[in-house]
């Protein structure tokens, strides 16, 4: 696979070198085109800083970060605070901002904006003032603005944190569909029920990589036992599907697969009754 980012012993600071606070230390990782990576960690672990470094918004002060400049020029990011990202007075103006920068013909914009809003499940008028939207709606607005340009790389910093369950599910479906169509996604989260959306988990602790592997290994460890789970050792709780699976395993029931998502559990449990 084509590497998009390759970090070698990289330190990342949030401010200028003369007044900087190093948040990430000695990072060694590579992210390839087409990956769906979940970045997990507690508050202050460095998740947001890593995404900012990947997007070019935070400074690498030590080591090196090699990037595919041609690919990441089109990167789009959605961070935790939607108010800091909204640039248009109305819904239409905000979503179409990126299209204007790409010199998209004005006549093509309404259709593209409608499609982006529909994809993220934001059912509001284009002339609705952005300031009238709820926090969750603003987050969906930022997501629509990110995907309307047809970007192939998305950086998402806890994008569902402010959403109700229905909107959260809709946004997860959008991310899954985009990834299936070739979009590279780096998704920072503390919600363990979102980890299974990804094909790879990078866990941060105190600014360093504490785990890098599959969602299954993150939830079940190398031996499939709950006490050895990296998820638990990092202070998280297993999501429902994983907790049920661990109880079934503890009861001696054979599981052909190790479910991480609820829909995976629904496929595994009926097989026990055959």
Instruction: Decide: residue 32, CB within 10 A, 0-12 exposed, 13-18 middle, 19+ buried.
Output: middle
- Beta carbons of 157 and 48 less than 8 angstroms apart: yes
271 versus 180: which is more confidently predicted?
180
Give yes or no for residue 173 having a pLDDT over 60.
Answer: yes
174 versus 201: which is more confidently predicted?
201
According to DSSP, the residues that pair with 187 across neighbouring strands are 38, 156
The average pLDDT across 116-122 equals: 92
Q: Lowest-pLDDT range, 65-69, 140-144, 150-154?
A: 65-69
What is the structure's pLDDT at 162? 83
Q: Residues 101-114: pLDDT tens digits?
A: 899 999 999 999 99
What is the structure's pLDDT at 261? 94
Distance CA 90, CA 117 (A): 13
Q: Residues 40-99: pLDDT tens digits?
A: 999 989 999 999 999 988 888 899 888 877 777 789 999 888 999 999 999 999 999 999
Q: Lowest-pLDDT range, 25-29, 55-59, 190-194, 209-213?
A: 55-59
The average pLDDT across 125-138 equals: 94
What is the structure's pLDDT at 18? 52
Give yes or no for residue 17 having a pLDDT over 80.
Answer: no
Q: Lowest-pLDDT range, 140-149, 168-177, 188-197?
A: 168-177
- Beta carbons of 47 and 157 less than 8 angstroms apart: yes
What is the structure's pLDDT at 227? 62
What is the structure's pLDDT at 38? 98
Distance CA 37, CA 203 (A): 10
173: left (phi over 0), alpha (psi -120 to 50) or beta: alpha
Q: What is the mean pLDDT of the chain?
A: 90
Give yes or no for residue 226 having a pLDDT over 60.
Answer: no
The average pLDDT across 149-177 equals: 90
What is the structure's pLDDT at 224? 56
Superfamily the domain 3-228 falls into: P-loop containing nucleotide triphosphate hydrolases (3.40.50.300)
Domain ranges of the chain: 3-228, 239-274
What is the structure's pLDDT at 161? 86
Closest-CA residue to 78 (of 188, 159, 164, 172): 159
Q: How many whole angstroms from its chain centre is CA 197?
A: 9
Q: Lowest-pLDDT range, 9-18, 103-112, 211-220?
A: 9-18
């Amino acid at each position: 696979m084509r590497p998009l980012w390759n970090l070698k012993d990289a330190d990342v600071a949030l401010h200028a070198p003369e007044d900087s606070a190093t948040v990430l230390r000695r990072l060694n990782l590579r992210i390839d085109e087409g990956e769906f990576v979940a970045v997990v960690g507690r508050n202050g672990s460095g998740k947001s800083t890593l995404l900012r470094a990947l997007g070019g918004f935070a400074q690498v002060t030590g080591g090196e970060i090699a990037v595919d400049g041609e690919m990441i020029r089109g990167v789009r990011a959605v961070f935790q605070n939607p108010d800091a990202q909204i640039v248009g007075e109305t819904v239409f103006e905000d979503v179409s901002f990126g299209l204007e920068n790409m010199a998209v013909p004005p006549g093509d914009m309404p259709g593209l904006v409608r499609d982006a809003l529909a994809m993220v499940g934001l059912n509001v008028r284009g002339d609705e003032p952005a300031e009238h939207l709820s926090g969750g709606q603003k987050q969906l607005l930022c997501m629509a603005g990110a995907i309307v340009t047809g970007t192939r790389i998305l950086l998402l910093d806890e994008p569902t944190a402010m959403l109700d369950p229905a909107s959260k599910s809709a946004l997860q479906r959008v991310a899954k569909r985009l990834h299936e169509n070739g979009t590279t996604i780096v998704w920072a989260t503390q919600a363990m029920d979102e980890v299974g959306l990804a094909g790879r988990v990078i866990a941060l602790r105190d600014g360093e990589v504490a785990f890098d592997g599959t969602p299954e290994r993150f939830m079940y460890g190398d031996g499939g036992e709950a006490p050895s789970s990296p998820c638990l050792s990092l202070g998280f709780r297993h999501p429902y599907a994983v907790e049920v699976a661990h109880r079934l395993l503890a009861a001696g029931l054979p599981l052909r697969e190790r479910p991480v998502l609820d829909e995976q559990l629904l496929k595994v449990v009926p097989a026990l009754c055959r």
